[in-house]
Each structure stands twice: as C-alpha cells, then as structure tokens.
Structure 1
Amino acid sequence: MFSNKFGRLMLGLYGWKMSAVCGVVQSSAGRSGFSWTAVCKQRTLWLQRSTCLKSQHHTVPCHISARSASHTTVDPDEVRRFQSLASKWWDEQGEFAALHAMNDLRVPFIRDNLLSVHRARHPGRPLAGLRILDVGCGGGLLTEPLGRLGAKVLGIDPVEDSISTAQLHSSYDPDLCDGVSYRACTLEELSAEEEGGAEEPGAAQFDAVVASEVVEHLADLETFAFCCSHVLKPGGSLFITTINKTNLSYALGIVVAEQLLHIVPSGTHDWEKFISPEELERLLESNGFSVKSVEGMLYNPASGSWSWTNSTAINYALHAVKVRDDAQPDQTEDSSSHSEDAATHS
C-alpha cells in the first residue's frame, strides 16, 4: 500500500540509475551520514545468508519459506494494521488514493484478459455470466467496478471492519445488490468449505481470482497459490498485482520510507515478503498455473495516475491461467489424430 507522501517520493527516486541507488547519495541522506553503499552491502550480506540457508535445506523448494509452516495466509500484524484503516477505504484523497487510481489499469487488465477467453454476450456488461473472487478485497475498491461490468463477484477479507465498510458502500448502489457480495473469511477457509457439504462451495467454482496488492501482505504464498488453484475452474484466470523484490523496491519501501525519512512507520513493509515475477511464476507453475503475461506498472505522484511501463522493477501485474485437467489427454488425442492422418496420406 502507498501513502501519499510515499508516492511523492517514489517518482523522483524511480528515475535514478541502479548504480546511484548503490552509491553514496550526496543529499539529505549524505548530510545525515547515511550511506547507500552500506545499505547495499547490508542487503547483499542478507541475500548471501539466505542463499546459504537454502543450500543447507536443499530439500525445500525455493519458493517455500519458514512462514509456510503455519498453512495460513493471514499475518496477524497485517490484520491489525488494516484494522486501523478499515474506515478509510473510500477516502480517495487518503491512504488508499493510489489504489483508487490503480483501477484505471487493473480493471481493464482483468476485463481484457477475461474477454480473450470468454466472449462478451451482453453489451455494456462484458463480464456477465462470470464468477470472480476478489481476495483481500478490503473496502471493495476493485470488487465494485468488476461487479458493474456484469460479473458475480465475491469479495473476501480477514478484517471484519473492512468487510463492513465494503458492504455499507455497495448498499448505496442498487445495481450492485445482485452482483456483489462480501464475506469476512480467509482464502483457505473458503477453499476448505468443500469438506462441509455435498455442493462443494469452495471447489472450482470461480472463473477468475483477483489478488491486487495482496500477496506482499500474506504469511504463506504456497498456501495462497494452492487455494487459488483449488477454487478456480479449469482454465480459470488468476490476476495479481504486487511489488517486485529488487534493490529499488528495497531502497524505496524499506530504507527511504521507513528508516531514513520516516514517511511511514517502521515495519509497514517487509521486504522479505516482496516477490519477483520470476519467483512468483515458479510458485504458480508448481501449483498448476501457466503464466500468460507480466506487465510493469508505474505510479506518477504528480498526476496521481498509473501507467504501463516496460520495467517491472517496482510494481507489476501478472495474469496466469489454471491448466486444464484434460489438457494432456487432448494433446495426446490430437497427436494420435495427426499420426492417423499421416498414415492415411502415406
């Protein structure tokens, strides 16, 4: 999540060369005796230590961390943090201003990729007939516009006050009554509901799962990926927007914002939870997904708007599709068919 102050700082720093990030900045950082070289060395040592630990425990896949032991996506510290912000979701000039602006990119990104698979049958409501799960929906900033496109959208969030805010806000729009609903629960709870009844409400019921600005706040990405696959229909889409794990994101999100300028409270961002597109792709592929596209995103604090960019150094959007269970048999059948045709012609 971005604060307005953090956003204003980001634009100027984004233009730096990466070498400048790893150098000594002759500015307010220099006057305070702060050394970017020391920062980079500290991070390098941390990475080396992490690599050593992984090599010592080589039987554990690279995308599984110690936090996976809990088998829950919920981080209690994150829940408490968002609990304190639950009443501010719909303040377009407040803490979530950048998320409101992000809808200009993420809504078309979701819509267009879904329409590439599902043809629009209702003019003005292109997503009609599709079921979408919005994981970590907060106050419903993304849930509502997806509902207005015609989809049946379920927003879930472990913060009950955020769900109350979302329910109250959507109640003001009669057009959302039938298409949008909310539940205060976790992804793993929803996924496990198949064990509670014959209708299996948690299993393979959604055409798409959306997790926008969520994965960097989760306690267990392995459980997240597994549950997303479980609740998606074969061929269903997964949409993620998040923060990359780079020198730049470390400098902006941890060192500058928290340690140097104290723009946001210490602990707001956990760099260990950031994930690169490559690592996220490996994680998803190991859970039955095929990544279709990854796009870089850039926030301009001067205009308060987002734009697509070739760089994924800070923010990026990802679209993946759950591999169909019958994909292999189809391929085998096609191969057999081609072989028979070839034999016939010969």
Structure 2
Amino acid sequence: MSGHSASSASSARADELDKFNRLADQWWDEEGPFGALHAVNPLRMEFIAEHAVIEDARVLDVGCGGGILSEALALAGAEVTALDLATDGLDAARHHAQAQDLAIDYRLADIIDFAAENPGKFDCITCMEMLEHVDEPARIVQALGTAVKPGGWVFLSTLNRNPKSWLLGIAAAEYLLKLVPPGTHEHKRFIKPSELTLMARRARLTPRALCGITYNPLTRHYALNPHDLDVNYLLACQKDE
C-alpha cells in the first residue's frame, strides 16, 4: 500500500513525491497500482466509525494522495480538509472530487507547518499509509497531536517491521501478487506497533485500539483482524483532555 507527505523543511522525500506524482493519473483505477487502497478503504472507514463520529465532524486527512479516503470521509458527512505534497496527486484528487460534486478542501501543505498554524482545530485526523514513507515519522505524529482538539481522535495506519512483513508486505505484495508497484516500500521504514504507540504517547495521544488488516491471496479478500498486527495495522488514538 502507499501514501506520502511531510515537509520540505523536515521529512519530505523528493524520491517519494516523484514516485507518487508519476502514478497520479492512476489513483482512481481500482484495478491499477492503488487497487489495494481501494480494497481496504471500507475497512479503514469501519475502524474509524467504531471510535469516532464522522458526520458533521471537522476531519483532516494527512497524506491524502488522490483522495480515496478523503472522499469516503466526505460521503460520510464530514467537513474534510486534505493535505499532500505530491502536486499531481492533489490535482487528481481535486478533479475527481469535483466530478463527484464533493466539497473537499485539498491543500498543498506540510502537516508540520499546517499544525502549527491550526492547533486544536480538528475533531478527527487520519494519516494512513504515510508514516512509512517519511524520514521522521515521530515529527508527523507530534504535528497530528497538535492539530487535533482535546478529546479528538487520530487514526494511523502503517506496516509492522519484522521478517513476516518483509515477506508479505514487500516480496509477496510487490513482486509475487503485484498488489502494489515494485519499490513502493522500504522495509527499514516500517514501524513496529510498540514504536508507533510510543510516538503517540509522546504527542499526548492515548492509544485506544490496534487492529491488523490481513489479506487472503486465495480469496483476494482483506479483513480487519485485531489479533494479527504482523503486516498492515491501524492505530486509534485520542488526544488527552
């Protein structure tokens, strides 16, 4: 899976932005390189809805890419602001939202700067499949903690770092099953749940739930599994009051 974003002054990586810009015209091809994101998006929304009320909420989607999650949040009744640093992907997101008559505030902005300018503004923040693409994920999590209001929710997803996640998240997903383009991920950038929960706590975010996303190659079916965090996983956090 994939995501991106960060800051020109901090953890934005030019190679990552170039990679996602090259794929920008394929964001909404459900059989294309982002097909896995389309497939898991209902599961991400289900996990979010278990914890937070989305309807009429002010939601920030960080590392929004082509807007797959942003649109789902808007369709669920949220007032959505979405950030990314890949310009071509943002253009794709804007065009698709306009075609669906969805009012999403897409911005070419870095979350670190944006959070400093908008502290405590959002009821809910999502940052999915992005942290494994930046150099300083802890700084991103810190910024998310700044931008969410006290009592608000932050939802993160990334990949665990272990031999199984290399086998399934890279070798199988990128080369054998071709679920995502080759070169999408670097295993050394994967983040263990223990590391991510520590980043969250340091940002005054209290971890509330962890849940894995599993894939069955025989049925080509993704599922939420709170007992299997070995590869892809989600973390729900709540900002300290």
TM-score normalised over the length of structure 2 = 0.89
Q: Distance in 1 between matches of 2:77 and 2:173?
A: 39
Q: Does 1:188 align with 2:112?
A: yes
1:156–1:186 Cα contact (<8 Å) kept: yes
Which of 131, 147, 153 matches 1:215? 131
Which of 214, 232, 235 matches 1:315? 232
Shift of 1:225: 1.3
1:134–1:211 Cα contact (<8 Å) kept: yes
> How has the CA–CA distance of structure 1 residues 146 and 255 changed in structure 2, closer, same or farther, with 3 Å as cutoff?
closer
> How has the CA–CA distance of structure 1 residues 256 and 173 changed in structure 2, closer, same or farther, with 3 Å as cutoff?
closer
Q: CA deviation digits over 1:179-209, x for unaligned, max 9? A: x2201112112123x2xxxxxxx11100111
Q: Distance in 1 between matches of 2:217 and 2:105?
A: 32
Q: Distance in 1 between matches of 2:40 and 2:177?
A: 25
> How has the CA–CA distance of structure 1 residues 305 and 73 changed in structure 2, closer, same or farther, with 3 Å as cutoff?
farther
Q: Which has the larger radius of gyration?
A: 1
**Quick one: which amino acid aligns to residue 143 of structure 2?**
C
> How has the CA–CA distance of structure 1 residues 235 and 265 changed in structure 2, closer, same or farther, with 3 Å as cutoff?
closer
Shift of 1:261: 6.6
Structure 1 stretches of 5 or more lacking a match?
A: 3-69, 116-126, 195-201, 325-346
> How has the CA–CA distance of structure 1 residues 71 and 292 changed in structure 2, closer, same or farther, with 3 Å as cutoff?
farther
Q: Distance in 2 between matches of 1:89 and 1:101?
A: 13
C-alpha RMSD of matched pairs (Å): 2.2
Map 1:84-233 to 2 at 5 A: 84-115=22-53, 127-174=54-101, 176-177=102-103, 180-192=104-116, 194=117, 202-233=118-149
- 2:16 alignment counterpart: 78
- 2:213 alignment counterpart: 297
**Quick one: which amino acid aligns to residue 181 of structure 1?**
D
1:157–1:183 Cα contact (<8 Å) kept: yes
Larger helix proportion of the pair: 1
**Quick one: which amino acid aligns to residue 44 of structure 2?**
R
Q: How many residues align?
A: 234
> How has the CA–CA distance of structure 1 residues 267 and 97 changed in structure 2, closer, same or farther, with 3 Å as cutoff?
closer
Which of 186, 194, 218 matches 1:270? 186
1:73–1:186 Cα contact (<8 Å) kept: no
Identity of aligned residues (%): 35
Q: Does 1:282 align with 2:198?
A: yes
Tell me which of the two structures has the higher relative contact order, counting C-alpha pairs closer than 8 angstroms and 6 or more residues apart.
2
1:104–1:306 Cα contact (<8 Å) kept: no
Q: CA deviation digits over 1:130-162, x for unaligned, max 9? A: 111101111100001111111101111100111
Q: Distance in 1 between matches of 2:92 and 2:173?
A: 28
Shift of 1:112: 2.3
Map 1:27-38 to 2 at 5 A: none
2:81–2:106 Cα contact (<8 Å) kept: yes
**Quick one: which amino acid aligns to residue 140 of structure 2?**
F
Q: Distance in 1 between matches of 2:22 and 2:68?
A: 17
Q: Distance in 1 between matches of 2:181 and 2:80?
A: 34
**Quick one: which amino acid aligns to residue 105 of structure 2?**
S
What SS does structure 1 have at the residue aligned with 2:68?
Answer: coil
2:205–2:239 Cα contact (<8 Å) kept: yes
- 2:5 alignment counterpart: none
> How has the CA–CA distance of structure 1 residues 301 and 261 changed in structure 2, closer, same or farther, with 3 Å as cutoff?
closer
**Quick one: which amino acid aligns to residue 45 of structure 2?**
V
Shift of 1:299: 1.9
Q: CA deviation digits over 1:310-336, x for unaligned, max 9? A: 211111111001111xxxxxxxxxxxx
> How has the CA–CA distance of structure 1 residues 105 and 137 changed in structure 2, closer, same or farther, with 3 Å as cutoff?
same
**Quick one: which amino acid aligns to residue 132 of structure 2?**
E
